[in-house]
Amino acid sequence: MKIMHIITRLIQGGAQQNTVMSCRAQVAAGHQVTLVYGPIYGPEGSLLKEAQQSGAKLIELPSMVRSIHPLKDAQCYLALKKLIKQEKPDIVHTHSSKAGIIGRAAASKVQYSQKTSSNPNPGPIIIHTVHGLPFHDHQPKWVHNLYVGLEQFAAKRCHHIIAITPEMVQAFVDKNIAPASKFSVVPSGVDLSRFKLAPNAKLDARKKLNIPQDAVVIANLARLDPLKGHNDLLDIYPTLKQKLGDNTYLLFIGDGFYRKELEQKIKAQNLTDKIIITGYIPHEQVAATLAAADMKVLPSYQEGQSRTLVEALLLGLPIVAYNVGGIPSICNAHTGRLVTAHDHDALAAAIVDTIENKEKTQKLTEAGREFVRKQYSSQAMTDALQHLYDSLRSIPN
């Protein structure tokens, strides 16, 4: 089978990790795989090396940019049409909002031959994965409505849509983007082998970060972005310090365009000695860095599935998160502590309870770890994709 994946940027992010992991597994299964992506830029880090190691054929399109750019978007549309005609993939699988809209529009205009009774599928099967909602309540209304309209347009130009959580399906259905029957839920898989730590991993991680061994360390593993809740943790830090002691640290693992502003806020609050920003950490080193923490907190205002919550549970770390997007699929009453978004008092209380109520925390974390091991393996994800590809190819367009 010839498979073409299209994604906007190969930065270090959940959607990109999912896509590169799919490429690697599909190449290993004997498929011919092409990965098309736009220019890699930004402080979040690159997954180009991992993509090169996947065995897929890599093609960078300079015109595929993240922001709205009418000229480059038109160039990207034409370039993708030409590329799909040349490569003739059986499956065109798009990822992320921008690549998903332009990629589906381009692929829907390509036919390799005339449709006949003996050739019911003259063009590619077109699939899109929703890794995160492109529209959310924190956008200006016109931006929100624009993204909803574009997703409605693109949904009519593909055969199937994959969502990584049931909550995403419902969000798209509620906006009349597509009926539920057009969706499948395939959780974003994680390479379980990367989350096995040495016995002294916590000790070593704290030494590298200059964190005392007896400190309480609360980590947020996420790109530095206003939507990821770093400000919420800064706001409640005085409460956490009062409840948990002076030796309480916040550990922000990751980088992003919001870093400079965040550092200024930390400095203004005289917290530079208790709040650590690691900057970009290569994916293969994330587990060893996260090992320094006592818990993982994600007070995000917009989230798809959150691979970082899965990764934290795999390491045996307790989790606390806001009840938004697809987070409840992972963090819920059975696996962690779920908090209403914006509720700073409840967020602080959940963090304190996680540290102080050790018996409850251990039960939740063990249950969560077992759950994600079964539900979020990379093998489960790639098997589900293969089954979906096969079933869609057997149905006439």
118/154 same-domain check = yes
Q: How many residues does the chain have?
A: 397
pLDDT band at 134 (very low <50, low <70, confident <90, very high): confident
251 plus 238 within the same structural domain? yes
* Residue 263 and residue 355 share a domain: yes
Same domain for 83 and 7, yes or no, is: yes
Q: What is the pLDDT of residue 117?
A: 59
User: Does 212 lie in the same domain as 185?
Assistant: no
CB 216 within 8 A of CB 294: yes
Q: Which of 180, 197, 185, 157 is nearest to 77 (CA)?
A: 157
Q: Over 80: is that where the pLDDT of 1 sits?
A: yes
Q: How many CB atoms lie within 10 A of CB 332?
A: 17
- Full residue range of the structural domain in which residue 48 is found: 2-189+377-393
Is the overall model pTM greater than 0.85, yes or no? no
Q: Indicate the pLDDT class of residue 202, thresholds 50, 70 and 90.
A: very high
Q: Band of the pLDDT at 278, cuts 50, 70, 90? A: very high
Q: How many domains does the chain have?
A: 2
Q: Residue 167, Cβ neighbours under 10 Å: how many?
A: 20
Query: CA end-to-end span of the chain, whole Å?
Result: 17
Q: Letter for the amino acid at 328?
A: P
Same domain for 119 and 202?
Answer: no
218 and 168 assigned to the same domain: no
**CATH code, domain carrying 258:** 3.40.50.2000
Q: What are 376-397's pLDDT values in tens digits?
A: 999 999 999 999 999 999 887 6
261 contacts: CB under 8 Å, gap ≥ 6: none
Same domain, 70 and 167: yes
In this predicted structure, the answer to whether residue 37 has a pLDDT above a threshold of 90 is yes
* pLDDT average, residue stretch 176-190: 95
59 token code pair: 């093609």
Q: Does the pLDDT at position 118 exceed 60?
A: no
Same structural domain for residues 213 and 306? Answer: yes
pLDDT of residue 132: 85
Q: In this model, does residue 41 exceed pLDDT 80?
A: no
Report, as an integer, the average pLDDT of 349-354.
98
Mean pLDDT, rounded, for 193-218: 93
> What are 284-318's pLDDT values in tens digits?
899 999 999 999 999 999 888 888 999 999 999 99
Q: Are residues 371 and 256 in the same domain?
A: yes
Angle (nearest 5°) at CA 201 between 195 and 206: 125
Residues 231, 360: one domain?
yes
Q: How much is the average pLDDT of 123-142?
A: 90
Each residue's pLDDT tens digit, 60-117: 999 999 888 999 999 999 999 999 999 999 999 999 889 999 999 999 999 997 765 5
Tokens of 159: 């055969």
Predicted confidence at residue 159, as pLDDT, reads: 96
74/313 Cα distance (integer angstroms) = 43
Same domain, 370 and 386: no
Per residue in 218-242, pLDDT tens?
A: 999 999 999 999 999 999 999 999 9
Above pLDDT 90, what percent of the chain? 82
